[in-house]
Structure 1
Amino acid sequence: MRTAAFALSFVFLAGCTQIDTGNVGVGRAFGVVSSEALPPGHYTTVFDSVDEITTKEVSFPVYDLNPKSKDNLTLKDLDVDVYYKTTPGMIPGLYIKYQGDYLQHSDIVENGNDVGVVGYNRVLRAAREATYTAVSKFNATTMHTQRPEIAAEIQKLLQAELDSSDKGAFTVTSINVRNLLTDPAIEAAIRDQVAADQEVIRKQKEVQIAQAEADRLRAQAQGEADANQILAASLTDRVMQLRMAEIQRDTIIQSAKAGNTIISGNVTPVITTGQ
């Protein structure tokens, strides 16, 4: 009796499945997949099974791509990282639709966990196509400065492609252009162009500095000219006053000599000097 109870307990415990937070479960009973996603919790799976599938953000790399640019040049290497999420309520339907496309996270990335990922190969194929299409819209010689724009274009195209077959099932959260290598000859041309651009910027800076110095000297010269003009006007008035004073002084001196009478304006002379 105890043996039977122990065996039953062992079977019961062995048939328990736990769904962690951030994941959902997809139940199967006698080969039939449940249409409802199971929320996090503990489930008894003696007569059926439950697969735990993540709803968290999943990332995976896409390596060794060789797309062509807008100017018809083939890139030597392009690597991107794709980040996406799966809508929890749509996971059972995706599980059925992509029955052969169910992997564990550890099968996708190094050091991944044992939680399931559904539709991975569907997203991977679409990501490759989106990358090739996106890169074809950019010139190879300027592509190294446009990584954010390329990533945004890949994300837009990938989201549109996934929505075309599974509307609302997948959300592309981010794209990272991690490695972008053009042909060595193009790399040399890019370096030459960067050097030329830097030389142009340096020359423009020199012109701006020279222009600013010229403006400063011009303003300084104008200020000095204005000051000289004001000073000249002031000095002219004072010189004239001084000259008049000197003339009056000389007149008085001459008038003060013997035999001369001092006359001031229209006043009748009142002083007569010696005979």
Structure 2
Amino acid sequence: MERLPKIALPVVIGLVVLIILIAKSAVTIGPGEGGVIFKRFGDGIDTSQTYGEGFHIVAPWNDMIIKKVRQQSISDKMNVLSVNGLEVNVNGTVWYEPEYSKLGLLIKTKGENYVQELLAPAVNAAARSVVGRYTPEQLYSSKRDVIEQEILDEVTKLLDQQYVNVKRVLVEDVQLPATIKQAIERKLKQEQESLEYEFRLVTAQKEAEKQRIEAQGKADANKILSASLTDKILQDKGIEATNKLAESPNSKVVVIGSGDSGMPIILGNQ
């Protein structure tokens, strides 16, 4: 077997090294992700550019740091105090996304673990501030949507110029101590029953008023009718009815004289 030429070994070694360098330099950024370059022998994170989805070549002595840049969410359970000092457990979810063009600045100033080191503390602080303005009853019943908006406003202020945008805050559950919860539920039930009673009472009063008005209307109508029925009108009506009876083919009428009221007297008919 003939020996390989002396140049062959360096060529093979060079090819191996080249393949390793290409493999190390090739970076693929997935859907919904962004990347920033960390220059090992430069100034660290390159904040001038965020790399989008797809295939990229990076110098082998540099690193590509890849992070999700689409909308994401974190959920947390927090123990906070209400306005009267009662401990309340709040379960919430926050939707957020980093500013795509500022991803380098976000990582450089806040670190790669910015969710735990920046976002989560801000949400917790906002929740404590907002929940501390309300009573347990308000937290348990009708103030949920207002609380969500106030927490969102607080978080937005805390994260201003921090390169993270919070899109929405959802308060999923508010857990109170059992005794407080039962007391609130009893009070709400009593209020509901009171409202139902008042509704029935108002309805009955309206129905009674309606009947009174209808009865008064009928009485007024009868009074007007009675006042309008003079003897002359009654006599004319009687004559009109007698004429119609006389014109009927099924009747035979004999009229003799008149009654005390001046009306004709009908003696017989068939």
TM-score, normalised on structure 2? Answer: 0.75
Residue 246 of structure 1 and its aligned partner are, at CA, apart by 4.5
Q: Between 36-45 and 201-210, report the one with greater CA deviation.
A: 36-45
1:93 corresponds to 2:105: yes
Find the counterpart in structure 1 of residue 35 from structure 2: 25
Identity among equivalent positions (%) equals 21
1:124 corresponds to 2:120: yes
Aligned AA (1:139): T
1:36 corresponds to 2:30: no
Aligned AA (2:212): R
1:156 corresponds to 2:153: yes
TM-score, normalised on structure 1? Answer: 0.74
Once residues 76 and 119 of structure 2 are traced to their aligned partners in structure 1, the CA distance between those partners, rounded to angstroms, is 11
Q: Is the 8 A contact 1:17 1:43 kept in 2?
A: yes
Q: What do the CA deviations read for 1:66-89 (whole angstroms, capped 9, x no partner)?
A: 2111122222x2111111121112
RMSD: 2.5
Once residues 50 and 234 of structure 2 are traced to their aligned partners in structure 1, the CA distance between those partners, rounded to angstroms, is 107
Residue 4 of structure 1 and its aligned partner are, at CA, apart by 4.2
Residue 10 of structure 1 and its aligned partner are, at CA, apart by 4.6
Once residues 162 and 208 of structure 2 are traced to their aligned partners in structure 1, the CA distance between those partners, rounded to angstroms, is 63
Q: Is the 8 A contact 1:23 1:54 kept in 2?
A: yes
| Correspondence 1:1-275 to 2 at 5 A | 1=11, 4-5=14-15, 8-31=18-41, 32-40=44-52, 41-45=54-58, 46-63=60-77, 65-75=78-88, 77-99=89-111, 102-103=112-113, 118-145=114-141, 146-163=143-160, 167=161, 169-237=163-231, 238-239=233-234, 246=259, 249=262
Q: Is the 8 A contact 2:235 2:262 kept in 1?
A: no
Q: Between 7-16 and 176-185, report the one with greater CA deviation.
A: 7-16
Residue 248 of structure 1 and its aligned partner are, at CA, apart by 7.8
Once residues 49 and 34 of structure 2 are traced to their aligned partners in structure 1, the CA distance between those partners, rounded to angstroms, is 6
Residue 39 of structure 1 and its aligned partner are, at CA, apart by 2.7
**Aligned CA distance change for structure 1 residues 242 and 98 (closer, same or farther; 3 Å):** closer
What is the SS of the residue equivalent to 1:35? coil
Find the counterpart in structure 2 of residue 273 from structure 1: none
Once residues 38 and 153 of structure 1 are traced to their aligned partners in structure 2, the CA distance between those partners, rounded to angstroms, is 32
Q: Between 1-10 and 27-36, report the one with greater CA deviation.
A: 1-10
Find the counterpart in structure 2 of residue 260 from structure 1: none
Q: Is the 8 A contact 1:140 1:182 kept in 2?
A: yes
Q: What do the CA deviations read for 1:241-267 (whole angstroms, capped 9, x no partner)?
A: 799x755859xxxxxxxxxxxxxxxxx
Once residues 60 and 136 of structure 1 are traced to their aligned partners in structure 2, the CA distance between those partners, rounded to angstroms, is 22
Once residues 223 and 262 of structure 2 are traced to their aligned partners in structure 1, the CA distance between those partners, rounded to angstroms, is 30
**Aligned CA distance change for structure 1 residues 248 and 5 (closer, same or farther; 3 Å):** closer
Aligned AA (1:219): I
**Aligned CA distance change for structure 1 residues 234 and 30 (closer, same or farther; 3 Å):** same
Q: Is the 8 A contact 1:154 1:175 kept in 2?
A: yes
**Aligned CA distance change for structure 1 residues 72 and 236 (closer, same or farther; 3 Å):** farther
What is the SS of the residue equivalent to 1:137? coil
Once residues 209 and 43 of structure 1 are traced to their aligned partners in structure 2, the CA distance between those partners, rounded to angstroms, is 75
Q: Is the 8 A contact 2:50 2:103 kept in 1?
A: no
Find the counterpart in structure 1 of residue 6 from structure 2: none
Aligned AA (2:98): T
Unaligned residue ranges in structure 1 (runs of 5+): 104-117, 251-275
Q: What do the CA deviations read for 1:3-60 (whole angstroms, capped 9, x no partner)?
A: 6435523531342112234332110122522122333132113231111122211211
